[in-house]
Amino acid sequence: MPRYAELAVTTNFSFLRGGSHPQEMVATADELGLAAIGVADRNSFAGVVRAYGEARKRKIKLLAGTRLVTADGFEVLAYPTDRAAYGRLCRLLTAGNLKAKKGECCLGFDDVLATSEGQMFIALPPDRLSRDFTERLEALARAAPGRSFLAGAHRYRGDEPRRLGHLAELGDRAGAPLVAVNDVLYHAPGRRPLADVLTCIREKCTVAEAGFRLAIHAERHLKPPGEMARLFADFPEAIARGLQIADACRFSLGTLRYEYPDEPVPPNKTPQQHLQDLTWEGAHKRYPKDKYPEGIPADVERRLKEELALIAKLDYARYFLTVHDIVAFARRQEKEILCQGRGSAANSAVCYCLGITSVNPDNSNLLFARFISEKRDEPPDIDVDFEHERREEVIQYIYERYGRARAAICATVIHYRARRAIGEVGKALGLTPDVTAALAKTVWGHGEDLPDSHIRQAGLDPDNPVIRQAVTLANEVVGFPRHLSQHVGGFVLTRERLDETVPIGNAAMEKRTFIEWDKDDIDTLKLMKVDVLALGMLSCLRRGLDLLKIHYGEDRSLATLPQDDKAVYEMLSRADSVGVFQVESRAQMSMLPRLKPECFYDLVIEVAIVRPGPIQGDMVHPYLKRREGSEKVHYPSPDPAHGPADELKEVLKRTLGVPLFQEQAMQIAITAAQFTPDEADGLRRAMATFRHNGSVHLFRDQFIGGMTRRGYERKFAESCFGQIEGFGEYGFPESHAASFALLVYASAWMKCHYPDVFCAAILNSQPMGFYQPAQLVRDARQHGVEVREADVNFSEWDCTLEPVADGAHAVRLGFRQIQGLSEDELKKLVAGRGNGYASIERLAATAGVSRFTIERLAEADAFRSLGLDRRAALWAPRRLDAIGIRKGGQRKGSSATEHSLPLLAHHMSDELFPEPEVALPVMQLGEHVAEDYAATGLSLKEHPVSFFRDHLKRLGAISNKEHRREDLPQDSLITVAGLVLMRQRPGTAKGVVFMTLEDETGIANIIVWPKIFARNRRIVMTSRFLAVRGRLQRAGLVIHVVAETFVDLTAELRRLRDGDLLVPGDTGIQACGPDLPLLKSRDFH
């Protein structure tokens, strides 16, 4: 039986070159019976961890290497023989990466030579041998004597024996003997078309144009040892050398040992001791004597002891200390950065005392033991959210404290999705953009397959061979890595140099560096990461808490908000949640009145229940029924022969017997379907990536089979699996829900008791959340908050609070609401304001304020305090050019040197330069409102729809307030109208479109079924102002209108804006469109 080791394998992590996944390569190598496989991608180790995972499973020897390609095109495979040599390669690639821009690596031949210690080098000859190559081969052999080789591949070029013989001779002379390889690009010959298409995508051409750039045959696949032996029958020693190299390389990725950094531990103290000290110190702060006369509650104390014991046992102290160190940095800033931990270990009593989380263990029934598993040798997981505007400070702190050689963000592999795949493959096959666009459009959202029916729907013939080919190839490309990108915030920190563990490269963002491995790779190798994430709501709460302190004298933090406030829960139960974290979406709003949260844990459930997992698993309705009491709580049980009837009770108790959280689904897999913990973990991962490895059905059979065999109802088993599939798209564990629930409570508390503070804080944190400023302001006004317009004499950049009678405050809109202004200039304007500007000329003379800014302010109607409406304010400053105050200032940030007549500047008025009066056309209210929207996205004067009330009455429309009247019977046919605030077509809703209409009295929720949508596609997709006739549907407080017919009123909005111009029957034959977009809706697909 011949033996063979393939040492030149290029995977698809050599982007747009390799035609197979690393896992496919390893699996095929194993099936063919290769002795070993060496995976080496271009200047990268990005794919080796995936190959390693597969090789470990299959117990085949894997050589983790890289194909070094120098800037001038010399290619050599490098395989480290030991850990130190691997580290040197990582550092070589890191240096090359940091020299080049993102995604490229700049290596010189000398750099390669300098790294030669401990490497096995296999040089790849170019198509035409040159003196230059020979010289380099000799240099390589001198640098790594006995460890340098020359790769020879059987290319089927017609003169193989001669060519290989020539190479063998060259190798012998140079001291780098011939080694047999096949320079593999794909695992099976059937991938040649795919490899050709990738070439075309890389070269930006079509297959018809690509010519000689395409492969001449399909031979660059993994070949069985027997065939390799036959091809190299004349050079048996070349085959043997490959096996020798494989034997000599003893390095395995499994030997990478992770060590936590020990910076945070002071000298003379063990990490565990330090952690305990910090924890007890924190505990005394959290439970101060004045509020807790008995000291730390006994229950908490017991938990702290248990947790600390577990941490000691698993030796996780340094991990907790590292997270604490980062959080402590945020907390000790002069202006504290608000943060909140979440994740499996975050909701522990220890983390509460360390200040990592603010979820009080005292009033939640969460158990730490659930979050750290003793059995699974897996590092704990804590994500920390920071204020989104200040996270960069935290990131830079981490780089600084641990150094760029020891800290880096991990990568996210960007995969081909169906849309992009069909677009690029179609282009490579020469399909016109029209056809590829039509094909791509049949994929909505993240659906990944292209069934024939969809292709037909797009007006194309699925039997057309080119289309068939495009679809087949695109389906193969889906799931291929495209490029690496940085993860949103996952940091890997190490005690030793990180760049000796994995190459680090530049990110597209300035001052960021990231490693080549993504979070799955890191999991596989059991490295530790801390997620440093950004959360807009934390910025909003920070601002709110600041305002609360300044204007109401209340000094609060997330941990010291009053707990279990009845009014807050009542407000949420009314679905009065515009702006509240996580529960402001329409789906959440319709859930709130049904769930009626009463305590903190209800909020945890509320956050988790409106997610793809529970929805796809049909878990929502059973839970609600049990909560209402209309269905009895019972626990699914196995056949008595297989286990105790209440084996799931412990798992499902908290959620009334209905699995809602990801942890529960995994627990069911282990308890009910008898997965091993490893298998359950494999299942979780397969789900997250199941689109591109197709192993999901194996788990499905095991899961459902396992449960039904043990006597569970098939239906229950199937819906549990459906839920897991849903989690695959967006996993949502209880531990995260608990942390989010705290922010739900905090934002709801603020909205409930200080709507003015909340309104100002959330406006100052835009863009965030679900609603636009117009809706946030409208909501605040409905809650009795006075909102005042932005004005040059009163506003600041941010929205501010102005005291009104009886201690309350009004919100003064800030200049930030006005689109297109520069913060710097406006700060100068505020600084130069003194006791207020008396005239527009004086304002214009302020240093650093450009005419562009003045015009924007005028368009936003911000000169009312000077007695000027927007037209007058627009008219006046235009003259300033002519009388010499400023020239040019069209652009932002024009400098102060533009004053040409400084002495006269303050006297530039009509007295000195009189001019004839020009009567400007009077602006109607409707025009003002339209202009308000154009400039600031909202109007405090009037709602645009109110101007069309008569028109709407003629159409038979009732106001949105009226449509909520209780005496309207269910299913009655009504017409409502309004501006389109939002359109959504969620993936979980099977093609249903949800729309929200707003008029001057409130909002109306519209449901469009797919059939109706298909008939009215254009109107539904594009209109901004719409009347909808449909059936009223009421379920408790939730009211929907199920659309039947539509009237598109978008054109009417133009009338509002044009005032007098385009009244019906006008002679103007062309709508000479104003160039500004009016009232854009937010669309979510």
- Please classify residue 510 by burial: count the beta carbons closer than 10 Å to its beta carbon, then call 0-12 exposed, 13-18 middle and 19+ buried: exposed
Angle at which helix 317-332 crosses helix 298-314, to 10 degrees, equals 120
730 vs 1084, beta carbon nearer another protein: 1084
Interface with another protein, residue 233, by CB under 8 A: no
- Tell which one of 16, 351, 429, 666 touches another protein (CB under 8 A): 429
Tell me which H or E stretch contains 605. Answer: helix 600-609
Nearer to another protein, 168 or 1003 (CB): 168
Does 157 participate in binding another protein (rule CB under 8 A)? yes
Q: Are residues 151 and 125 in contact, defined by beta-carbon separation less than 8 angstroms?
A: yes
Identify the burial level of 313 via C-beta atoms within 10 angstroms of its C-beta, where 0-12 means exposed, 13-18 middle and 19 or more buried: exposed
Q: Which stretch binds another protein (CB under 8 A): 663-671, 705-713, 781-789, 1016-1024?
A: 1016-1024
Residue among 748, 721, 385, 365 at smallest CA distance from 588: 748
Binds another protein by CB under 8 A, chosen from 24, 196, 381, 756:
196
Is 723:665 a contact under the CB 8 Å cutoff?
yes
Contacting another protein within 306-365 (CB under 8 A): none
DSSP 686-709: HHHTGGGT--HHHHHHHHHHHHHH
Compute the least distance from the CB of residue 838 to another protein, in Å.
22
Q: Residue 592 CB, nearest distance to another protein (Å)?
A: 32
> Token digits for 861?
């109607």
The single-letter code of the amino acid at 943 is H
Residue 881 has what DSSP assignment? G
Q: Which is nearer to another protein, 903 or 1069 (CB)?
A: 1069
Are residues 424 and 15 in contact, defined by beta-carbon separation less than 8 angstroms?
Answer: no
269 Cα distance to chain centroid: 40
**Nearest approach, Cβ of 789 to another protein (angstroms)?**
18
Q: Which is nearer to another protein, 189 or 1036 (CB)?
A: 189
Positions 856 through 875 that interact with another protein (CB under 8 A): 859, 870-871, 874-875
**1061 touching another protein, by CB under 8 A:** yes
Q: Which residues contact 35 (CB under 8 A, 6 or more apart)?
A: 3, 4, 5, 61, 225, 243, 246
Distance between CA 395 and CA 398 in Å, rounded?
5
Query: What would the x/- binding string for another protein be over residues 697 to 736, using CB under 8 A?
Result: ----------------------------------------
Q: Can residue 878 be called a binding residue for another protein (CB under 8 A)?
A: yes
Cα separation of 194 and 1065, whole Å?
60
List 334, 434, 555, 966, residue binding another protein (CB under 8 A)? 434
Smaller CB separation from another protein, 372 or 880: 880
Kindly tell me which of 22 and 225 has the beta carbon lying closer to another protein: 225
CA dist., res. 1036 & res. 131, Å (int): 84
Query: What residues does 837 pair with on adjacent strands?
Result: none
Q: Is 820 in the site for another protein (CB under 8 A)?
A: no
Which stretch in 28-36, 371-379, 920-928, 992-1000 sits in contact with another protein by CB under 8 A? 920-928
Among 334, 678, 806, 1075, binds another protein (CB under 8 A): 1075
What residue spans of 772-850 are helical by DSSP H? 773-782, 823-831, 840-844
Number of residues interacting with another protein: please give it, by CB under 8 A.
69
String of contacts with another protein for each residue 251-270, x by CB under 8 A: --------------------
Contact stretch for another protein (CB under 8 A) within 156-164, 538-546, 668-676, 1033-1041: 156-164
DSSP secondary structure, 788-806, as one string: E---TTT--SS-EEEE-ST
Pairwise CA distance, residues 797 & 857, whole Å: 12
435-464: which residues touch another protein (CB under 8 A)?
437-438, 441, 458-459
Rounded least distance, CB 375 to another protein, Å: 48
* 189 touches another protein (CB under 8 A): yes
- Does 1064 bind another protein (CB under 8 A)? Our answer is no
Nearer to another protein, 555 or 1075 (CB): 1075
CA–CA gap between residue 422 and residue 428 (Å, rounded): 10
Distance CA 355, CA 265 (A): 17
Q: Is 1060 in the site for another protein (CB under 8 A)?
A: yes
Q: How far is the CB of 869 from another protein (least distance, A)?
A: 10
Q: How far is the CB of 127 from another protein (least distance, A)?
A: 10
Listed ranges 152-160, 234-242, 301-309, 638-646: which one lies at the site for another protein (CB under 8 A): 152-160
399: helix, strand or coil: helix
Site track 202-221 with another protein (rule: CB under 8 A), x = hit: -----xx-xxx-xxxxxx--
Residues 730 and 613 sit within 8 Å (Cβ to Cβ): yes
Q: In the complex with another protein, which residue's Cβ is closer, 166 or 642?
A: 166
Structure tokens at 495: 């005690």
CB of 158 to another protein, least distance (A): 3
Enumerate residues 6+ apart whose C-beta is below 8 A from 714.
Answer: 704, 708
Residue 1033 vs 1050, nearer CB to another protein: 1050
Pairing of strands 529-535, 481-493: antiparallel
Of 376-384, 434-442, 497-505, 811-819, which part binds another protein (CB under 8 A)? 434-442
Total length of the chain? 1085
Residue 56 or 892: which CB sits closer to another protein? 892
Question: Taking contact as CB under 8 A, which single stretch among the options 100-108, 277-285, 658-666, 1065-1073 is the one that binds another protein?
Answer: 1065-1073
- DSSP-assigned letter for residue 179: E
| Nearest distance, CB of residue 1004 and another protein, angstroms | 22
Where on the phi/psi map is residue 248: left (φ > 0), alpha (ψ -120 to 50), or beta? alpha
Question: Least Å distance between CB 629 and another protein?
Answer: 46
Q: Return the structure tokens found at 237.
A: 């020693």
Out of 24, 523, 931, 999, name the contact with another protein by CB under 8 A: 931
Q: How far is the CB of 1068 from another protein (least distance, A)?
A: 6
Cβ proximity to another protein, 880 vs 1041, nearer residue: 880
Q: Which residues pair with 485 in a beta bridge?
A: 412
Residue 715 CB neighbours (<10 A): 11
The SS3 call for residue 995 is: strand
* Smallest distance from another protein to CB 1052, Å: 14
Assign 3-class secondary structure to 296-352.
CCHHHHHHHHHHHHHHHHHCCHHHHHHHHHHHHHHHHCCCCCCEEEECCCCCCHHHH
Please select the residue that binds another protein; options are 193, 271, 614, 617, rule is CB under 8 A: 193
Tokens of 146: 């006995």
Of 410-418, 426-434, 540-548, 790-798, the segment contacting another protein by CB under 8 A is 426-434
206 or 273: whose CB is closer to another protein? 206
d(CA 334, CA 1000): 44
CB nearer another protein, residue 730 or residue 913: 913
Q: Per CB under 8 A, which of residues 104..133 are in contact with another protein?
A: none
Q: Closest approach of Cβ 542 to another protein, in Å?
A: 34
811 pairs with which residues across the strands? 787, 801
Token pair of 503 as six digits: 């190459």
Give contact residues for another protein (rule: CB under 8 A). 156-159, 163, 189, 192-193, 196, 207-208, 210-212, 214-219, 230, 429, 432-434, 437-438, 441, 458-459, 466, 469, 859, 870-871, 874-875, 878-879, 881-883, 915-916, 918, 920-923, 927, 931, 1017-1018, 1021-1023, 1050, 1058-1061, 1067-1070, 1072-1075
